[in-house]
Structures are given as C-alpha cells and as structure tokens.
C-alpha cells in the first residue's frame, strides 16, 4: 500500500494525472479489502485451531492424571493439577492463537516491509536496521526476565488455589474453632504473593510498549529528517519518502505485535513446562505396568469363579516414609468367606486393602490370585472383579442413579432399588425424585451414614468376586451393620468379603479376623479365639465393650 501511495503522489499528484490517481486508488481499495478478508479468515482459523488444541491437551492431561498413583498425584498436589489442566492449558492456547494469528504474519510483514522499503531506496535502510536491532535486543531481554517470573506466578496461583480449597472444605472447622482471622491472613498472604509477582510482570509488560513506541518515534523522525535532506539533494522523490515512512510504520507495528506475543510466550512457556511435567510422569499403576502383554485374568488362569487372593510376605513403604506401613504381611482371602482386618489408628488397614485392587503395588512380596502374581495382571482386569469402598466414601455430583451406576453401568432401575434395599438405604424412597434425587458435590446433601449406604449399594450392584471394604460401617449403628453384612453375604454367597475396621462389632462374625498392629499381622483367628489368645484384640474389644458372643 505505501508503494501504491508513492505512485499516487509521484505519478499522479506531482504529474497532475487524475487517471493514475483513480486507477491506483482503485488498486489500493482492492488490496485493503483482500487484506481485511485474509486477516478475518486467519483470526477465525487460529481461534478454531487453538481451541481444539486446548481441548485435546486437557484430555491428555486428564488421561495422565487418571493413571497417576496416589503418591504421584500428591507430589503435584490436587490444586496444582487443577491449575495445570485449566489455567496452564489456557496460557498455551492463547500463545497458539497469538502465534497463528500474529506471530506467523508479523515476521512476513516485517521482512516484506523491509524489502519493499529497500526497493523504494537504500539510503534510509541504516535507520531501519538500527531501529530493528534495538528492538530485537530489548525484546530478548524482556522475555528472559519474564519466563522465570511467569513460572513463579503459576506456582503462586497453585498456592492460592490450595488455600481456597482447604478453606472451603474446612469451613465448618474454621468457624467452630474461630480460626476465621488466621485463615483470612493465610489467604491474604497467598494473594499478596501472587499480586507481587503479577505486578512485577505487569510493569515489565507495560515498559515494553512505550519502549517500542519511543524507538518507533525516533526512527520515524530520523527517516523524515534524512529523507528531507535526500529530497533536497534530488536523491529521492517525495513519494518514495512517504512510502519508506509507511513501511517503517508497518515494521514497527509488526514488532509491537511480536512484543505482545513475547509477553504471552513467556507465560505460555512456563505453563507448557508444567503441563509436560505431568504428561511425562511415568504412571506407576496402569495397564502398562502389567508385566505381561496379556494381563487378562483368563490368561493367568483366573476363571469365572471367585479367586483365592493371598498376600504373600507383602511389605509396603510410602515414598519418603521412615518405616514401612506394612511389614511382611501374609494373609489369604478365600471365596465364600468373610475376613475382618482390625487394628487401631494408623495400623496399616487402608494400606493393606489398597493392595488388593492394585491402587498401590507392594514394595516387596506379592499379591497373588489363585497363585498368580497380580503384578502380571492388567490393573483394570483385577479391578473389574472387585468392589472397593474407600474410607471416607466419595459420591460425585449427579443423581443417586448416576452414582450407583458407577458400580454397574447397565443396571436397570429394579437392580438399583434391590441394591439400595440390601444396603438399608430406605431413605432414597422418601427422598423427592427417588433414584433421580440430586447428589451435590462430594454428596454433601447426604449424612455420613446415608453416604455409606449409597456406597454399599454401589458396591453390591457389581456382584463382585471380592468386596474390599475400608471402614464401610463407621457411620451405621451396629444393628444396621449386621443386617447389611448378612444381606451382602446372602446376595453374593460365593464372594470373598474383606472388611477393614477399628470396630470389633463390624467383624466379630467374620470367618477369619486378622489383627494388625504397626503394619504387622499380630494374630489371626475368630472372634472367640482372638478374645482368648490376642491381647491387642481383647483390648480393642474391652475398650468397645463388646460382649464375647
Ligand atoms: N499417602 C501416604 N503417604 C505417607 N504415609 C502414609 C500415607 N498413607 C498412610 N500413611 C502412613 O501409613 C501408615 C498406615 O496408614 P493407614 O492409612 O494404612 O492406616 P489405617 O490403619 O487405615 O488408619 P486409620 O484407621 O486411622 O484410617 C500410617 O503411619 C500413615 O501415617
């Protein structure tokens, strides 16, 4: 366009040729319309591609997170994983959009304008080159400053998210212990830390544009000044000077656009590193860790019948822990039999139970199904035969039906009602909406006992070969827990039922009771034999005032 403008001035206005003015003016109009259409299309396509990339990236982060072991997930921390899957992906999305919409076109614009300005005359080239060098060096420095700051900023967003999460989930405790002021201060500190780094980045970012503008202004003054001298000497025409000024402006616009992209790029590169860190984490518990290519149950000799599950000299140590949570545990869970694992706080019950569905793998020893090491099995194959209830029952946002169908996706309503009845979850019948009654986040609109009954119904729906139940009755009264245990046994006569608990009442009728203390099995027997032979068990029973029946 500046070249066409130069022709209008030099060949049209100066030569008094109105025909050239109209003709070249027409070309300018066409160029402007094409320019508009191309940039609209480029913006649309860039937005489309960037959004699709972000969607795929979120899926891949989620897929990786789903495969992380508990220890790996807690190394990142839930708030950080959330930020990485959302805010960090958005930063990369913005960069991709900016790159496609601006950063690809800007260099063409820059080089094209530089070449076209040279065609107009070489004499002003040094001005353009000097301005270009100053701007490139300035931008390089700017990006170097911003990348570490952007990394710090994402970390501080993680911290703020963690504080908010803790405060929201612990709201009642905070109120009950009058900790509002302390918590407010904690929030303020995290918020101020984030503000400080954001402000620092903002200052650098705001400094960049004025720098570009000042360099642009000086370059423009230099072009006009030198140009005037060159015209005076007859080395240049007025139109050539106008065109060179126009191209200089285009170069500076391109540089300004690149400077905006540089700001986005520094944040995005910090975010990309955080996303890559998650994606590159080798999942420690997933299908890929099956030691055999064919990790199916059939390939390993486990048929339709409930298997004999054995813990064979199993030890487990959490990463960084001084002592093992489980130490040389050997125990068998037989089909058609109920096993109780009882022990005090932190004795290792949850750790032991998590081994069965391969939520964790033993540090040494093996978990065997019909003699075959489950490390050879695909975790999904093992889990498909198990119903697991973790301590602190989890429900998800949805309805009662959607929560129950996690246990069995194709269960019809009759099956759901039957499972609810077996789990003594009669309250669902009185609830508005019945099976379609709403479940809010974490099942907070249900009491602890109701949540446990729903979890038991979900576990029952699957009719698994093994029930692995971690403290499943802690919020139920003893009569109800007995009724539910009997109902599970009657509904699934061939299954193996394993119950981890601190309550003697939950397991006293079990065929086998293992007493665990500090990660070791200290006694195995029945209620009666343990009352006679195990001090730990007797003490637990005495403390809970359970009669020797
Ligand atoms: N994710 C973890 N990281 C590190 N150590 C852990 C982790 N989970 C449990 N432990 C430790 O392992 C030991 C056994 O814990 P576990 O949760 O298995 O006990 P538990 O018998 O189920 O306790 P409770 O009845 O109180 O739930 C404890 O010393 C505990 O501190």
Read out DSSP for 536-548?
A: HHHHHHHHTT---
In terms of domains, do 476 and 456 share one? no
Give this complex's ipTM: 0.94
Residue 1's pLDDT is: 65
**Rounded Cα gap, residues 105 and 71, in angstroms:** 45
Atom of ligand 1 minimally distant from the CA of 318:
4
In terms of domains, do 80 and 103 share one? yes
Angle at 244 between CA 243 and CA 250, to 5 degrees: 90
Distance 367 CA to ligand 1 centre (A): 19
Out of 316, 321, 326, 342, mutate this one to test ligand 1's pocket (max ligand atoms within 8 Å of CB): namely 321
Atom 30 of ligand 1, nearest CA residue: 346
Any domain includes 27: yes
Residue 355's pLDDT is: 92
- Cross-strand partners of 388: 468
Distance 357 CA to ligand 1 centre (A): 17
In terms of domains, do 416 and 487 share one? no
Domain limit, last residue, from 213, 244, 279: 279
Atom of ligand 1 minimally distant from the CA of 470:
22
Any domain includes 286: no
Distance 363 CA to ligand 1 centre (A): 15
- Cross-strand partners of 315: 364
Residue 295's pLDDT is: 59
Distance 300 CA to ligand 1 centre (A): 31
Atom of ligand 1 minimally distant from the CA of 347:
21
In terms of domains, do 349 and 443 share one? no
The sign of the dihedral angle between the CA atoms of 257, 260, 262, 265 is negative
In terms of domains, do 428 and 354 share one? no
In 3D space, the residue among 511, 509, 534, 506 whose CA is nearest the CA of residue 521 turns out to be 534
Give the pocket of ligand 1 (CB within 6 Å): 70, 318, 321, 325, 343, 345-351, 391, 502
In 3D space, the residue among 107, 128, 130 whose CA is nearest the CA of residue 119 turns out to be 128
Distance 348 CA to ligand 1 centre (A): 6
- Which portions of the chain are predicted below pLDDT 50? 286-288, 547-549
Residue 287's pLDDT is: 42
Atom of ligand 1 minimally distant from the CA of 323:
29
Three-class SS state of 518: coil
In terms of domains, do 269 and 397 share one? no
In terms of domains, do 104 and 223 share one? yes
In terms of domains, do 160 and 55 share one? yes
Atom 31 of ligand 1, nearest CA residue: 346
Distance 273 CA to ligand 1 centre (A): 32
Distance 6 CA to ligand 1 centre (A): 79
The DSSP element (H or E) to which 315 belongs, if any, is strand 309-316
Domain limit, last residue, from 279, 310, 329: 279
In terms of domains, do 364 and 491 share one? yes
Atom 4 of ligand 1, nearest CA residue: 318
Residue 353's pLDDT is: 94
Long-range pairs, 142-149, Cβ under 8 A, ≥24: 142/204, 142/208, 142/259, 142/262, 142/263, 143/262, 143/265, 143/266, 145/204, 146/201, 146/204, 146/205, 146/262, 146/263, 146/266, 146/267, 147/266, 147/269, 147/270, 149/197, 149/200, 149/201, 149/204, 149/266
> CB atoms < 10 A from the CB of 505, how many?
18
Any domain includes 285: no
Any domain includes 284: no
In terms of domains, do 409 and 528 share one? no
Q: Distance from first CA to last CA of the chain, Å, rounded?
A: 98
Atom 16 of ligand 1, nearest CA residue: 348
Distance 318 CA to ligand 1 centre (A): 9
Any domain includes 288: no
Atom 2 of ligand 1, nearest CA residue: 318
In terms of domains, do 142 and 253 share one? yes
H helix intervals, 170-179: 171-176
Structural domain of 489: 293-385+466-544
The sign of the dihedral angle between the CA atoms of 99, 105, 106, 111 is positive
Any domain includes 507: yes
Residue 199's pLDDT is: 92
Residue 285's pLDDT is: 54
Contacts of 10 (CB under 8 A, 6+ apart): 237, 238, 239, 240
In terms of domains, do 339 and 238 share one? no
The sign of the dihedral angle between the CA atoms of 408, 357, 63, 390 is positive
DSSP characters over 462-484: T--SEEEEESTTTTS-HHHHHHH
Residue 229's CATH number:
1.20.1560.10
For the chain, the C-alpha Rg in angstroms (whole number) is 35
Any domain includes 204: yes
Give the C-alpha distances (Å, rounded to integers) separating 489 from 108, 405, 454, 469, 484.
74, 21, 17, 13, 9
Domain limit, last residue, from 229, 253, 279: 279
Q: How many structural domains does the chain have?
A: 3
Contact by Cβ (8 Å): 507, 333:
no
Residue 425's CATH number:
3.40.50.300
**Rounded Cα gap, residues 116 and 244, in angstroms:** 8
- Check residue 432 and report its DSSP letter: T
């Amino acid at each position: 366009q500046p070249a066409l403008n130069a022709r209008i001035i030099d060949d049209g206005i100066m030569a008094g040729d109105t025909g050239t003015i109209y003709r070249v003016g027409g070309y300018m109009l066409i160029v402007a319309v094409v320019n508009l259409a191309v940039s609209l299309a480029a913006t649309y396509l860039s937005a489309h591609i960037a959004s699709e990339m972000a969607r795929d990236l979120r899926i891949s982060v989620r897929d990786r997170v789903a495969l992380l072991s508990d220890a790996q997930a807690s190394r990142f921390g839930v708030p950080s994983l959330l930020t990485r899957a959302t805010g960090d992906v958005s930063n990369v999305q913005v960069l991709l959009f900016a790159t496609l919409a601006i950063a690809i076109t800007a260099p063409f614009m820059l080089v094209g304008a530089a070449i076209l300005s040279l065609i107009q005359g070489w004499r002003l080239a040094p001005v353009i080159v000097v301005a270009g060098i100053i701007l490139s060096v300035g931008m390089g420095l700017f990006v170097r400053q911003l990348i570490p700051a952007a990394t710090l900023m994402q970390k501080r967003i993680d911290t703020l998210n963690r504080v908010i999460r803790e405060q929201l989930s612990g709201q009642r405790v905070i109120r009950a212990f009058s900790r509002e002021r302390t918590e407010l201060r904690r929030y303020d500190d995290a918020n101020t830390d984030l503000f400080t780094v954001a402000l620092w980045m903002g200052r650098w970012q705001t400094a960049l544009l004025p720098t570009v503008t000042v360099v642009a202004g000086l370059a423009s003054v230099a072009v006009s000044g030198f140009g005037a001298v060159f015209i005076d000497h007859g080395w240049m025409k007025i139109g050539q000077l106008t065109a060179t000024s126009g191209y200089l402006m285009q170069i500076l616009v391109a540089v300004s656009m690149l400077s905006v992209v540089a700001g986005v790029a520094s944040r995005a590169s910090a975010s990309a590193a955080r996303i890559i860190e998650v994606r590159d984490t080798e999942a420690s518990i997933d299908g890929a860790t099956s030691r055999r290519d064919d990790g199916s149950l059939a390939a390993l000799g486990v048929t339709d019948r409930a298997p004999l599950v054995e813990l064979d000299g199993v030890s487990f140590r959490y990463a960084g822990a001084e002592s093992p949570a489980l130490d040389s545990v050997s125990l068998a869970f037989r089909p058609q039999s109920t096993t109780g694992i009882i022990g005090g706080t932190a004795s290792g019950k949850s750790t032991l139970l998590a081994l069965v569905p391969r939520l964790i793998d033993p540090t040494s020893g093996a978990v065997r199904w019909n003699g075959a090491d489950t490390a050879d099995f695909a975790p999904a194959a093992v889990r498909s035969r198990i119903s697991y209830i973790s301590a602190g029952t989890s429900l998800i946002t949805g309805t009662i039906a959607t929560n129950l169908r996690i246990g069995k996706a194709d269960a019809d309503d009759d099956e759901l009602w039957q499972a609810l009845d077996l789990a003594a979850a009669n309250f669902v019948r009185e609830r508005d909406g019945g099976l379609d009654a709403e479940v809010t986040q974490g099942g907070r609109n249900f009491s602890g006992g109701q949540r446990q009954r729903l979890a038991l119904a979900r576990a029952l729906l699957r009719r698994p070969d093994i029930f692995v139940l971690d403290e499943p009755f802690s919020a139920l009264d003893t009569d109800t827990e007995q009724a539910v245990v009997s109902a599970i046994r009657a509904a699934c006569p061939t299954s193996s039922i394993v119950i981890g608990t601190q309550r003697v009442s939950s397991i006293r009728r079990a065929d086998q009771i293992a007493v665990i203390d500090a990660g070791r099995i200290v006694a195995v027997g029945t209620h009666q034999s343990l009352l006679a032979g195990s001090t730990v068990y007797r003490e637990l029973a005495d403390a809970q005032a359970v009669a020797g029946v």
